[in-house]
Amino acid sequence: TFQLTVSDGSLSSNDLVTITVNPPSDTTPPTASITSPLNGATVARGSVVSISATATDNVGVTQVQFFINGKLLSTDISAPYSASWKVPAAKGKTYQIQAIATDKAGNIGRSAIIKVTAK
């Protein structure tokens, strides 16, 4: 119930008054987790590796970005979230993979960084 009082008499009982109630803002970041490959895995040089992640949020995930050594590889906008990565030819090099999820309010959640080594 709302009571509207106008001290200058500019409204009558027949006037239409619109009241807008804004919902509370979303401040909860999404969660993201890489499900494949596993941390510590060895990957073949020159092969194409499928990277998979899960992401959840109280309002809704809008995208998941995949990063290799801090550099954007790709963006997926719908679950199941995945990316394809062609492993460079450098033998014995370790790569860091991370997924970053964004929700409808612009909050971000980062997965743990996993490390894989090219053989």
Two tokens at 1? 């119930």
- Percentage of the chain exceeding pLDDT 90: 76
pLDDT of residue 116 exceeding 80, the answer is yes
Q: What is the mean pLDDT of residues 40-59?
A: 97
State the pLDDT at residue 19.
75
Compare 84 and 2 and report the one with higher pLDDT.
84
Q: Per-residue pLDDT tens for 21-47?
A: 776 789 999 999 999 999 999 999 999
Q: Per-residue pLDDT tens for 76-97?
A: 999 999 999 999 988 899 999 9
> For the residues of the chain, what is the DSSP string, one character each?
------TT----TTS------PPPPP-PPPEEEEEESPTT-EE-TT-EEEEEEEEE-SS-EEEEEEEETTEEEEEE-SSSEEEEEE--S-TT-EEEEEEEEEETTS-EEEPPPEEEEE-
pLDDT of residue 12 exceeding 70, the answer is no
pLDDT of residue 1 exceeding 60, the answer is no
Compare 41 and 12 and report the one with higher pLDDT.
41
Would you place residue 8 in the very low, low, confident or very high pLDDT band (cuts 50, 70, 90)? low
State the pLDDT at residue 20.
73
